[in-house]
């Protein structure tokens, strides 16, 4: 195959280029039904939002809010997607977000200013990921159990640090990031971070040896081992990556809330897993896409928003989420069987 | 016997899966008390047919008549109620339950409908096992603790725990040693003497000759011949029916010149306690060395230990003079070893991934800079390797799971070809490969050797080892009992050696 000139703009439009062998055409063909149906669901939701609350839903403020809310859980979901693709699971993401956010907002940390908060959040996240990874890859623990233990102790440690109190952020630089003045072309910085993490995640999964190895380990760990891949080291890196994403998410949450709390990130593990699953990631590993997961996050966040605007109860909203998960998985089974 | 209707008549059975017409109007007629053999290459439709018979698949069309009455096998339970039992190739036992619990799974003897009478279950299981010639298996043991052969017996006991009139056996001898095969045949004889019909699937013609009454040959989803006499239909006729060809195996010519002088692989005193005794082996570039032996003789274990997938208890492996770190696959791969393992799907392939990605998985660092994969270079290199091996279809993006067995094996070989490995370890390279595709695979392996690779070949099919290898090591119970050039051996001699282990060399 020849590498065509980067006619990306032209090809990105709906008309496929004339030459049949173009990689773009192949990509379009492979942009599977799943991604398209997720986009369809999202479009339907936007339609519902626009119809039920024509004034408030499509308002710029509201769209900014949806994207901002999606950012925190979205960053966590990108890391989770990698872990699930590799055949693992990370139940500790919510706890890591909580721990990183409170550790990064202690009085002592805040003395080091913006850099101190960011650095601490990321390092704490990666530290927890490292422990997870070591226990799973080299300690031979089942991911479910190792990360469940991390969930329990992470939450406990977060509570111990804060003593249950909300730690207000006093560093101006951090607070300013959440304010309207910092928006770039109307886009909140948090959303830009989310977008960057998504792009990096996509590249990492689809264009690097790291991504290939993750898929190989999840698709068939024994085959990967016999093909000469260091499966254990790969697993370690994957949990480290998930921890890093949690650290970034914790920082975003600090910006968003202007504080650190030990109750932060509650049930993030479930939201992230659910988003990845409806995005088409196989829970058994070996297949998944970043785009699907991100669409999953956006769908969930939009539902939450529409329910809130229409003054519906949280209970109804959760039932709807559950129904969507079931429907998505059933549809995927259908399409998988037809292959 | 003439007026009695056949036990089972299937006529015009069709069954399609998305993209595949698995059964295209199959007829099968089975008499009570006969052993009816099903012959056919992989993909001929045997598995689909027996799944229809077991009620696991619903046919799209056709008629099934059971003892003169039209019937539909709507579910496995319906088939079981009629008296059809199936012993699948992959045994369907629950490892964490006991033998007796497995045998009576789903139809436990109960009091008041729900209290399991464990003692009765054990007693009847013991009786069944005794009838099967394996009274030594304790009904109380966990199935997971039994050997493969014993598990098969348990599976058979489960089939017999129902009121059966027809038993389907799918390659029952595949995992068995010769004396166990004899026992299996005795059981089949007892069953047919009681009027039970057996539908027997096997690739081994000699077995069909020994116990079969009639043969139905399937090809491409059709029965190309039905009810042939099993004992005296000439082999070449059967092979011709299965393949449309007249020869079963064609082996490539051996090179005439002597192999290179310097061995590339040197194994000294390699041992794994309980699996195989100290082994010495030299392998030269251009040479194919075969390991012949029964299941459990340590063949696969030796290969995997050389490869580092199992850690040696003692001894060393060197490639090109450099000693490998024991128990490290990565060290072995880096030194130039490549393994095509026995269980291709479980141990070698990423079934959801494309051919290209399966081929490039061991060589990714070559196409990447700083972890960034150059997909163009990857595709070109992988494609060159698959074309070299004539892998079909020549479509690098199709998922590897859609390929035939022979082409999946080529994908594994292409992986190591691309890696530029120096020693290729092949464990049962033609398992699950069509008879027709085998010759091509043999030619590929020989060509790789001619190009300077050293090949170590393990196969349970003696003709394959003798036909393909230059030298043969005969293994028995983890020990090399004979070494000789392949041309100095014949099948009988090798079988004698693996069975008797008469000391030689």
Q: What CATH number is given to the structural domain containing A116?
A: 1.10.3470
Q: Which residue of A has its CA nearest to B344?
A: A223
**What 3-state DSSP class applies to B164?**
coil
Answer whether B1-83+163-248 and B263-336+421-504 agree in fold.
yes
CB atoms within 10 A of CB B230: 23
Residues of B in contact with A337 (CB under 8 A): 18
Whether A12 is in a domain gets the answer no
The CA-atom distances, in angstroms, between A270 and each of A253, A277, A296, A300, B173 are 18, 10, 13, 12, 48
Contact criterion met (CB below 8 Å) for B389 and B417: yes
DSSP H or E segment with residue B152 = helix B148-160
Interface check A3 vs B, CB under 8 A: yes
Q: Please, which residues have CB within 8 angstroms of residue A105's CB and are 6 or more apart in sequence?
A: A117, A167, A168, A169, A254, A259, A260
Check: CB of residue B245 under 8 Å from CB of residue B261.
no
B383 CB-near residues (< 8 Å, 6+ apart): B356, B394, B396
A87–chain B Cβ distance below 8 A for any pair: no
Domain coverage including residue A202: 26-338
Contact A228 B364 (CB under 8 A): no
pLDDT at residue number A126: 98
CB A260 within 8 A of CB A276: no
Residue with tokens 């017409």: B21
DSSP string, A45-83: HHHHHHHHSTTTTTSHHHHHHHHHHHHHHHHHHHHHHHH
Interface probe, candidates A6, A226, A280, chain B, greatest B C-beta count within 10 A: A226
Nearest to A209 among B18, B309, B373 (CB): B373
Please give the helix or strand (H or E) that residue B322 lies within, else none: strand B322-323
What is the fold, at CATH topology level, of the domain defined by B263-336+421-504? Answer: Rossmann fold (3.40.50)
Which positions in chain A touch B349 (Cβ < 8 Å)?
220, 223
A228 contacts B362? CB cut-off 8 A: yes
- CA gap A31, B419 in Å, rounded: 31
| DSSP H stretches of helix in B425-468 | 435-450, 462-468
The three-state secondary structure class of A178 is coil
Is A256 a domain residue? Answer: yes
Distance between CA atoms of B172 and B199, rounded to whole angstroms?
Answer: 11
Third-level CATH fold of B1-83+163-248:
Rossmann fold (3.40.50)
pTM higher than 0.95: no
DSSP of A164-231: T--EE---HHHHHHTSGGG-BTTB-HHHHHHHHHHHHHHHHHHHBHHHHHHHHHHH-HHHHHHTT--H
Q: Do B346 and A222 make contact, defined as CB atoms within 8 angstroms?
A: yes
B339 vs A contacts (CB less than 8 Å): 226
Residues of chain B contacting residue A220, judged by C-beta atoms under 8 Å apart: 346-347, 349-351
Give me B202's structure tokens.
């096997």
Per the listing, tokens 């730690």 go with A167
Across the range B357-366, mean pLDDT stands at: 91
Q: Where are the domains of chain B?
A: 1-83+163-248, 96-162, 263-336+421-504, 348-420
Interface predicted TM-score (ipTM) of this complex, two decimals: 0.79
B333, B357, B373 member nearest A208 (Cβ): B373
pLDDT per residue as tens, chain A (339 positions): 344 443 333 333 433 333 334 555 555 555 577 788 889 989 999 999 999 988 889 888 999 999 999 999 999 999 999 999 999 999 999 999 999 999 999 999 999 999 999 999 999 999 999 999 999 999 999 999 999 999 999 999 999 999 999 999 999 999 999 888 888 898 999 999 999 999 999 999 999 999 999 999 999 999 999 999 999 999 999 999 999 999 999 999 999 999 999 999 999 999 999 999 999 898 889 989 999 999 999 999 999 999 888 888 888 888 888 888 888 888 777 665 544
Return all residues near B486 (Cβ < 8 A) that are at least 6 apart: B290, B465, B466, B467, B468, B469, B470, B471, B472
For residue B154, the SS3 value is helix
Cα gap B449→B429, rounded to integer Å: 15
Cβ atoms B470, B289 nearer than 8 A: yes
Over residues B172-183, the pLDDT tens digits come to 877 777 788 888
Q: How many domains does chain A have?
A: 1
Distance from CA of B356 to the nearest CA of A (A): 12
Give the number of other CB atoms < 10 A from CB of residue B138: 16
Instruction: Name residue B272's beta-bridge partners.
Output: B276
**Residues from chain B contacting residue A225 (CB–CB below 8 Å):** 309, 329
């Amino acid at each position: 195959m020849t590498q065509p000139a980067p006619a990306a703009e032209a090809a990105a439009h709906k008309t496929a280029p004339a030459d049949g062998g173009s990689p773009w055409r192949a990509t379009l063909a492979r942009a599977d039904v799943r991604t398209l149906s997720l986009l369809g669901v999202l479009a339907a939701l936007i339609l519902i939002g626009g119809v039920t609350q024509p004034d408030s839903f499509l308002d710029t403020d509201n769209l900014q809010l949806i994207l901002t809310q999606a950012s925190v859980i979205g960053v966590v979901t990108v890391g989770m997607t990698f872990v699930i693709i590799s055949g693992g699971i990370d139940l500790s993401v919510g706890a890591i977000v909580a721990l990183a956010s409170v550790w990064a907002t202690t009085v002592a940390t805040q003395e080091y200013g913006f850099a101190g908060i960011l650095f601490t959040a990321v390092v704490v996240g990666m530290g927890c990921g490292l422990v997870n990874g070591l226990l799973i890859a080299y300690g031979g623990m089942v991911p479910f159990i190792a990360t469940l233990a991390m969930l329990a102790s992470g939450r406990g440690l977060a509570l111990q640090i804060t003593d249950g109190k909300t730690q207000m952020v006093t560093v101006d630089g951090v607070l300013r990031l959440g304010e309207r003045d910092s928006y770039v072309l109307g886009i909140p910085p948090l959303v830009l971070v989310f977008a960057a993490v998504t792009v990096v995640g996509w590249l990492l999964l689809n264009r690097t040896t790291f991504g290939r190895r993750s898929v190989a380990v999840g698709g068939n760990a024994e085959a990967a081992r016999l093909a000469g891949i260091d499966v254990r080291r790969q697993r370690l890196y994957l949990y480290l990556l998930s921890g890093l994403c949690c650290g970034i998410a914790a920082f975003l949450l600090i910006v968003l809330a202007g504080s650190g709390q030990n109750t932060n990130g509650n049930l993030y593990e479930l939201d992230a897993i659910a988003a990845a699953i409806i995005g088409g990631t196989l829970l058994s590993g070996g297949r998944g896409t970043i785009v699907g997961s991100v669409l999953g996050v956006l769908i969930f966040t939009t539902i939450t928003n529409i329910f809130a605007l229409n003054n519906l109860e949280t209970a109804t909203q959760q039932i709807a989420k559950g129904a969507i998960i079931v429907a998505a998985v059933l549809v995927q089974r259908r399409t998988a069987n037809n292959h | 016997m003439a007026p009695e209707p056949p036990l089972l008549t299937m006529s015009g059975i069709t069954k399609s899966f998305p993209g595949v017409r698995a059964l295209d109007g199959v007829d099968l007629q089975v008499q009570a008390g006969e052993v009816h053999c099903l012959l056919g290459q992989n993909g001929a439709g045997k598995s689909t047919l027996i799944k229809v018979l077991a009620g696991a698949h619903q046919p799209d069309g056709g008629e099934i008549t059971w003892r003169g009455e039209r019937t539909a096998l709507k579910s496995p339970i319906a088939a079981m109620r009629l008296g059809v039992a199936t012993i699948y190739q992959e045994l369907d036992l629950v490892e964490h339950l006991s033998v007796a619990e497995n045998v009576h799974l789903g139809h436990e003897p109960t009091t008041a409908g729900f209290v399991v009478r464990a003692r009765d279950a054990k007693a009847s299981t013991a009786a069944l096992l005794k009838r099967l010639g394996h009274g030594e298996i304790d009904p109380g043991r966990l199935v997971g603790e039994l050997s493969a052969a014993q598990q098969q017996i348990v599976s058979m006991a489960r089939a017999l725990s129902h009121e059966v009139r027809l038993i389907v056996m799918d390659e029952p001898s595949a995992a068995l040693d010769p004396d166990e095969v004899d026992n299996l045949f005795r059981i089949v004889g007892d069953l047919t003497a009681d009027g039970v019909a057996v539908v027997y699937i096997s690739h081994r013609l000699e077995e069909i000759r020994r116990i079969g009454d009639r043969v139905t040959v399937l090809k491409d989803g059709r029965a190309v011949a039905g009810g042939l006499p099993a004992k005296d239909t000439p082999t070449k006729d059967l092979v011709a029916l299965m393949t449309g060809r007249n020869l079963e195996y064609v082996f490539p010519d051996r090179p005439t010149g002597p192999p290179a002088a310097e061995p590339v692989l040197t194994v000294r005193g390699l041992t794994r306690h309980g699996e195989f005794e100290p082994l010495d082996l030299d392998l030269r570039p251009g040479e194919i060395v075969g390991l012949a032996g029964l299941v459990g003789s340590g063949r696969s274990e030796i290969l995997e230990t050389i490869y580092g997938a199992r850690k040696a208890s003692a001894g060393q492996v060197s490639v090109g003079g450099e000693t490998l770190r024991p128990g490290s696959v990565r060290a072995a791969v880096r030194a130039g070893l490549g393994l095509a393992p026995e269980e291709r799907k479980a141990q070698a392939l990423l079934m959801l991934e494309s051919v290209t990605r399966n081929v490039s998985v061991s060589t990714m660092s070559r196409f990447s800079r700083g972890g960034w994969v150059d997909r163009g270079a990857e595709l070109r290199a992988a494609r060159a390797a698959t074309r070299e091996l004539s892998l079909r279809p020549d479509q690098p993006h199709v998922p590897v799971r859609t390929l035939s067995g022979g082409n999946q094996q080529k994908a594994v070989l292409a992986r190591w070809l691309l890696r530029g490995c120096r020693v290729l370890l092949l464990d049962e390279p033609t398992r699950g490969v069509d008879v027709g595709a085998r010759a091509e695979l043999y030619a590929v392996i020989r060509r790789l050797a001619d190009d300077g690779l050293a090949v170590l070949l393990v196969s349970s099919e003696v003709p394959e080892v003798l036909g393909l290898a230059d030298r043969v090591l005969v293994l028995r119970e983890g020990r090399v009992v004979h070494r000789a050039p392949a041309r100095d051996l014949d099948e009988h001699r090798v079988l004698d050696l693996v069975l008797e282990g008469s000391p030689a060399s």
